[in-house]
Chain A
Amino acid sequence: MKKLILLFLIWAFISTINAQNTNEVFLNLDLTESTFSAFAKEVEKQSAYHVLYHKEWTKEIKVSITKDHISVLEAFQKALLSTDYKVSIYESFIVILPNQELISQLPNYNPPETEEIIEEPTQPSSAFMKGRKADNIKITVGNSKYPIVGRKVKVSGQVKDIQSDHGVEGATVYIAELKKGGITDANGNFEMQLPSGKYNARIECLGMEKINCQIQVISDGKFHVQMQKANYDMKEIVVYGDKQMSIRDKDPGLEKVSVKNIKELPMMMGESDIIKVSEMLPGIVSVGEGAAGLNVRGGSFDQNAFYYNNIPVYNTSHMFGFFPAFNADVIKDFSIYKGYIPAQYGGKISSIFDINARSGNKKRYTAHGGISPIAGNLTIEGPIKKDTASFLISGRSSYSDWILKQVNDYVIRNSKASFYDLTASLNYDLPKTQINVFGYLSQDYFKLHDINTYWYSNKGISANFGHQFNSSLRGDFSLSGAEYQFKTIDNQLESAAYEHEFKVGQYDLKADFHKVFNEKNSIDFGINGIWYDLQRGDVLPSGQQSLQAPVHLGNEKGLETAIYLSDNYKITPLLELNAGFRFSAYSAFGPKKVYTYYENGPRDERNISDSLSFNSGEAIKWYYFPEFRASLNYQTDEFGSIKLGFNQMHQNIFMLNNTITVAPNSQWKLSDYHLKPSKSYQISLGVFRNFPKGGWEASAEVYYKDTKNYTEFKDGADFLSSPLVETTVLQGDQTSYGIEFLLKRSGKRFGGWLAYTYSRSIIKVDGGEKWNQINQGDSYPSNFDIPHVFNAIINYHISKRVTFSTTLTYQTGKPATFPTSYYYIEDQPYLDYSKRNEYRIPDYFRTDISLTIEGNLRKKKLLHSSFIFSVYNLTSRENPYSVYFTKEEGSISSYQYAVIGVPILTATWIFKLGNFDAN
């Protein structure tokens, strides 16, 4: 079977390469003595091409072609064989010219001049779109009756996608004469200060057709521009935004990923996964298959904040990390802050994953979905009020756990697994106000034969409101509530069988403001508050036979509040400073009974000295954190920049975990009277350079991060036997540092990226006495200390409709504790083990491939289909997840355990209403 798949892929690859030499689009023609215009119409019907010709020239031509699978170019060459006319293909146009081929570009189209602000057309019209290709769109800003002289004029505007009517983020508006420009924000808005006058402006955004226009600036005002999607780079791996973006605006350690990145990678079980895409970026690792969550710059999983349209998400995976909890169909883009973190974010030490969902289509109703071997998904969206309000509902569900039945393991064969998630979004956009209500629900169920049952669920809702108060002040307000809960039933031992239910609630309120003073100076300020409500649950006996004594783990409440102010200041045209200050305060709240311990011994139930009682609503202990954030961006030349970042972070909630990777029943815990919030600082320095000719972009970043009060479990910690967490954990230092390289190519047929990271993550817990040390007080590598990581993504766009992708991942094996010697107790051999994580399991290596085939490119059709074939772990390498040692018949044997040791082939069908470009 394995060979067959490979053969098929090779065949597909070779045959499509051959195909693209002649042309990508093929036609089936059956014409006899047909007119040229009928022939042209047929071509337009079967392809996305538009044929441009002069009727006078072609009226004599008769076309007779009867052939299946003829390329467009060949068809025209055949039709024009005995004439003097030549055919040329330019973008989506076929141009017929007498005696010559098209040399450079289309003849200009001159739209009528406009005196006032251009009103955006409500319907996409082809004439309008074609007009945008020309160089002389003229826009007048302001009122000619009240011209402004002597001061700069404030020009604002919005760039929109003509089809979806959404703002285009990251588009550059570049004024050639002044060599300056602006970049649009998440809603497509931009702002510039210009002296009045006439300018040539270029508006660009990757994935969109470029717009050149003339702007006449008279007085303060605004204008709208609509961009059209560029068909030719529909399938492109690109870190979102314009090529220049990483030079000018990218903060050190900021990664922006568009949904295209996500959808193109080879998928395990056919599900696109934003988490998996992140893991291909430098500085972000996962410690193996089945490891839910990821580690950013040497930090633990619980140091990452995931916000899904402002809803905090505590568990980011379905089925133990094999599937993403986020439906890629609904995601617009996401940003990962891992270096410099702007002052508006806080509460987690390592990173912020800010995931933005799309809003529904405001023009028309549409639906799309997909079916993979495990799950199916469907998204329905459309306008509630045309151009203003829209909805989007998306659902995904596993429909079969057949794969479990295929496994050669009795327990797994008799297990059950299922998951689903739902997303709903309502958007209401007015010129100055945007309102979004967003809801998310995900649920997982796994029953491991009659041994264990796991159930977990994320749910949340957010209401987001944005308002432009005036041309220089914008406010964004958000109210959200989220709950994560799980339930475990453990029936491994009949007499000690138990069940445990856990719940954490997080309720966020925030207000963010952006104020522009002038083109050099703008500030961000705001406040936010988070209320945590943890119900750690009860450990209760499960079943009639269980003698498990109930343990009440208790409830916890905490309040985190913060205010911040940050200033963005252009010191010189090439030097930009972002400096921010965030002040936050945190306390756990009663009702709570807190025990105190004698200081000269371990925190242990036997060492309790006293107890303190806190009433409901009473603060237990306040912690205050002033945090400084700064980034300095120096542009060395047009194509290069150097960036320096510094930030201080802290964290009030952490995860209780004593297993190799994060388990679905890992509890969360708030900082309290005994356990201090963790705090850290990070310094990062990055060098960025573009090589626009080949579409290359390169960056190198170094960082150093130091965390205090990092919470680590003691040897043999059990988080279910006692509510007193302070008796099972200690706090220490975590240090990480590394260097990250990224080389990326985009906008080309052959693209992708190479990322290499060298990094370390070291923990040291040494309170000075044996009882408050871990690993005898010596430093040791964390479970996610992965020094060398190399990732490659290569995409090859074989044709408009066929893309081949491959990914390659190498990483050093994760740290492990290994035996060091034998010894005998009662005549039986036992192993003495090394210090924590002194060894490493074998290195990890994996290659995946995928082939994406789009359905035909006809413009008018009911349904567009695409098929994705992918192979996960092509080389069938058995990447060890763990190495373990076990005693058999008096001697000790060592084994490695691999979660996946075979290639996994999946085929996925994706459909959407309308043509392939429809959204």
Chain B
Amino acid sequence: MFLLTLVSCIKAYEPKFKDNAIQKFVVQGMVNNQEGWQYVNISISSSLTNPAYIPIEGCYVEIIDDENNKFELEEYEKGKYRVWMSQEYLMIGRSYKTRITIPEGDILESSFDQMPAGPEIDNVFYEVKDLPTNVPDEWIKGIQYYTNLKANDEQSRFYRWQITETWEYHSAYPKEFYYDGEINHIFPPDYSDYYCWTTKKVDEIFTLSTNGLSENQYNRLPLHYVKNTTEKLSVLYSFMLRQIALSESAYQYWDQLRINNTIGQGLYSSQPLAIKGNISNISNPELEILGFFQASSETQIRIFTPPIENLELDFSNKCSPAILRLGLTEITPDMYPGWLMEDRGQPTMELMNYECVECTLRGGKTQKPSFWP
């Protein structure tokens, strides 16, 4: 509740954990109302000292609806299972569960989750917004995205939003002059490592319950914030917003995950909880299973944001050329090819680091996403 009081302080802390953590099965699955692949992922939890995704291969996985239609899933990647379900089996109001037999023989089963109805995404917009910092008169600049929800009484009162962002960014320079014992000139300049795109899931969880509200509506639900200190807004920024209508129990699961990630930072905060999902181990009921199997209806929308006029960017493209005071002999063979700056069609005595010409070194890929304009 309170972020800070008086002369408080926050510092990193390394707790001593007990080394008695039991590895638990983790099941995460989802059936949504759109014809297509439906997924169930199965893994086991890992220790705090060695965080890792540990998939479980070779499970027998089914999705079962309340009319006892069964759909067997295939393992398409380690621990990841899917099945194509046609629209006739994906009906609002129908309930679904999953049943899993793991190679060791344990049977894991979720409770039924009823597929709710949800509205189209109403509106997504941003505002340029400065956030305060702990230093007086120093502000974080950036844009805050919001969405509105307009649902009716037939539709779910519980929602989650998931965001996958993609942005285009550029190297500082195309590849043109390089030295590998002699100066080479690529003409026309090589732009193959110049354009990059990065795609990432936003790791925040956005949830909403309109249960306590007078209408099944909500205005200005804050989504994510994009700072001006990243390259995201330099060329073109985009994100896919998935609005997922949930059942009440699925909402409680996600909302508690969200709370666990944000609490503990103030005077009157509550403690994190061991979150209970809807999956149990039929063979060994005392063994807890993490995760949730949900039936949901989903709508999505892609948003593009070009550079913003009244927001000055302040990010580093990681390009810092060095002047060759002693001439080209400074470029030793292990540094080949040494990319040189260009000036009026001629190479200069300035050596660029690779980040100046290879955008992939900043984390992205050179392959243009199919949805990119």
1/0 contact string of B232-262 vs chain A (CB within 8 Å): 0000000000000000000010001101111
Assess A823 versus B212: contact at CB under 8 Å? Given A716-B256, A881-B267, A901-B8.
no
1/0 contact string of B137-162 vs chain A (CB within 8 Å): 00000000000000000000000001
Complex partner residue of A825 from B7, B11, B257, B269, CB under 8 angstroms = B257
**B317: Cβ under 8 A from any A Cβ:** no
Which of A412, A822, A899, A902 has the most CB atoms of chain B within a 10 A radius of its CB? A822
What chain A residues lie within 8 Å of B262 (beta carbons)?
A: 886
B1-42 residues at the A interface, CB under 8 angstroms: 1-15, 17-18, 20-21, 23-24, 26, 28
Assess A408 versus B134: contact at CB under 8 Å? Given A833-B272, A881-B267.
yes
- Once the chains bind, are B269 and A659 in contact (CB under 8 Å)? yes
- Once the chains bind, are A882 and B48 in contact (CB under 8 Å)? no
- Once the chains bind, are B274 and A659 in contact (CB under 8 Å)? no
What chain A residues lie within 8 Å of B23 (beta carbons)?
A: 821
**B214: Cβ under 8 A from any A Cβ:** yes
**A551: Cβ under 8 A from any B Cβ:** yes
Q: How far is the CB of B269 from chain A (nearest CB, A)?
A: 6
- Once the chains bind, are A661 and B268 in contact (CB under 8 Å)? yes
1/0 contact string of B58-92 vs chain A (CB within 8 Å): 00000000000000000000000000000000000
**A549: Cβ under 8 A from any B Cβ:** yes
Assess A880 versus B13: contact at CB under 8 Å? Given A411-B3, A823-B26, A835-B274.
yes
Q: How far is the CB of B223 from chain A (nearest CB, A)?
A: 13
Taking CB as reference atom, which chain A residue is nearest B216?
Answer: A547
**B345: Cβ under 8 A from any A Cβ:** no
**A57: Cβ under 8 A from any B Cβ:** no
What chain B residues lie within 8 Å of A494 (beta carbons)?
A: 219-220
Assess A833 versus B3: contact at CB under 8 Å? Given A413-B136, A716-B256.
no
Q: Is the interface of B mostly helix, strand, loop or mixed?
A: loop
Assess A826 versus B266: contact at CB under 8 Å? Given A411-B4, A496-B213, A818-B17.
no
Interface size on A, residues (CB 8 A): 84
**B308: Cβ under 8 A from any A Cβ:** no
What chain B residues lie within 8 Å of A885 (beta carbons)?
A: 260, 264, 272
Q: Is the interface of A mostly helix, strand, loop or mixed?
A: mixed
Complex partner residue of A826 from B201, B211, B261, CB under 8 angstroms = B201
- Once the chains bind, are B201 and A883 in contact (CB under 8 Å)? no
Chain B binder among A67-75, A458-466, A693-701, A890-898: A890-898
- Once the chains bind, are B274 and A660 in contact (CB under 8 Å)? no
The CA-CA distance from A549 to B218 in the complex, in Å, is 12
Complex partner residue of B290 from A409, A549, A832, A891, CB under 8 angstroms = A832
Taking CB as reference atom, which chain A residue is nearest B53?
Answer: A824
Q: How far is the CB of B149 from chain A (nearest CB, A)?
A: 9
What chain A residues lie within 8 Å of B275 (beta carbons)?
A: 832-833
Complex partner residue of B13 from A817, A834, A891, A895, CB under 8 angstroms = A895
Chain B's interface size range is 35 or more
Complex partner residue of B213 from A322, A452, A547, A842, CB under 8 angstroms = A547
Q: How far is the CB of A387 from chain B (nearest CB, A)?
A: 47
What chain A residues lie within 8 Å of B261 (beta carbons)?
A: 830, 886-887
What chain B residues lie within 8 Å of A894 (beta carbons)?
A: 12-15
- Once the chains bind, are A897 and B265 in contact (CB under 8 Å)? yes
Assess A412 versus B6: contact at CB under 8 Å? Given A551-B212, A886-B261, A897-B265.
yes
- Once the chains bind, are A715 and B48 in contact (CB under 8 Å)? no
Assess A545 versus B274: contact at CB under 8 Å? Given A884-B265, A894-B14, A895-B13.
no
**A58: Cβ under 8 A from any B Cβ:** no
The CA-CA distance from A831 to B11 in the complex, in Å, is 20
Which of B24, B217, B261 has the most CB atoms of chain A within a 10 A radius of its CB? B261
- Once the chains bind, are A824 and B211 in contact (CB under 8 Å)? no
Taking CB as reference atom, which chain B residue is nearest A888?
Answer: B203
- Once the chains bind, are B219 and A547 in contact (CB under 8 Å)? yes
What chain B residues lie within 8 Å of A818 (beta carbons)?
A: 15, 17
What chain A residues lie within 8 Å of B6 (beta carbons)?
A: 322, 403-404, 407, 412, 899-900
A319-343 residues at the B interface, CB under 8 angstroms: 320, 322
- Once the chains bind, are A896 and B11 in contact (CB under 8 Å)? yes
Complex partner residue of A833 from B9, B28, B274, CB under 8 angstroms = B274
Taking CB as reference atom, which chain A residue is nearest B3?
Answer: A411
- Once the chains bind, are B48 and A411 in contact (CB under 8 Å)? no
The CA-CA distance from A833 to B290 in the complex, in Å, is 11
Q: How far is the CB of A275 from chain B (nearest CB, A)?
A: 17
1/0 contact string of A408-447 vs chain B (CB within 8 Å): 1111110000000000000000000000000000000000
Q: How far is the CB of A198 from chain B (nearest CB, A)?
A: 65
The CA-CA distance from A818 to B19 in the complex, in Å, is 12
What chain B residues lie within 8 Å of A541 (beta carbons)?
A: 214
What chain A residues lie within 8 Å of B15 (beta carbons)?
A: 818, 839, 883, 894
- Once the chains bind, are B220 and A495 in contact (CB under 8 Å)? yes
What chain A residues lie within 8 Å of B133 (beta carbons)?
A: 410
The CA-CA distance from A852 to B257 in the complex, in Å, is 52
The CA-CA distance from A493 to B212 in the complex, in Å, is 13
- Once the chains bind, are A897 and B5 in contact (CB under 8 Å)? no
Which of B13, B23, B201, B215 has the most CB atoms of chain A within a 10 A radius of its CB? B13
Closest A-B pairs by Cβ, 7 of them? A884-B264, A410-B132, A896-B13, A663-B268, A901-B9, A823-B45, A820-B21
Interface residues of B (CB under 8 A from A): 1-15, 17-18, 20-21, 23-24, 26, 28, 43-48, 51-53, 132-136, 162, 201, 203, 210-215, 217-222, 252, 256-257, 259-276, 290-291
Q: Can you name 7 extra interface pairs (CB under 8 A) apart from A410-B136, A822-B46, A880-B13?
A: A403-B6, A411-B132, A716-B273, A819-B17, A821-B24, A897-B10, A899-B5
Interface residues of A (CB under 8 A from B): 290, 320, 322, 403-404, 406-413, 448, 452, 493-496, 539, 541, 545, 547-551, 658-661, 663, 715-716, 721, 816-839, 842, 878, 880-887, 889-902, 904
6 A-B Cβ contacts within 8 A?
Answer: A322-B6, A824-B26, A826-B28, A839-B17, A842-B13, A884-B269
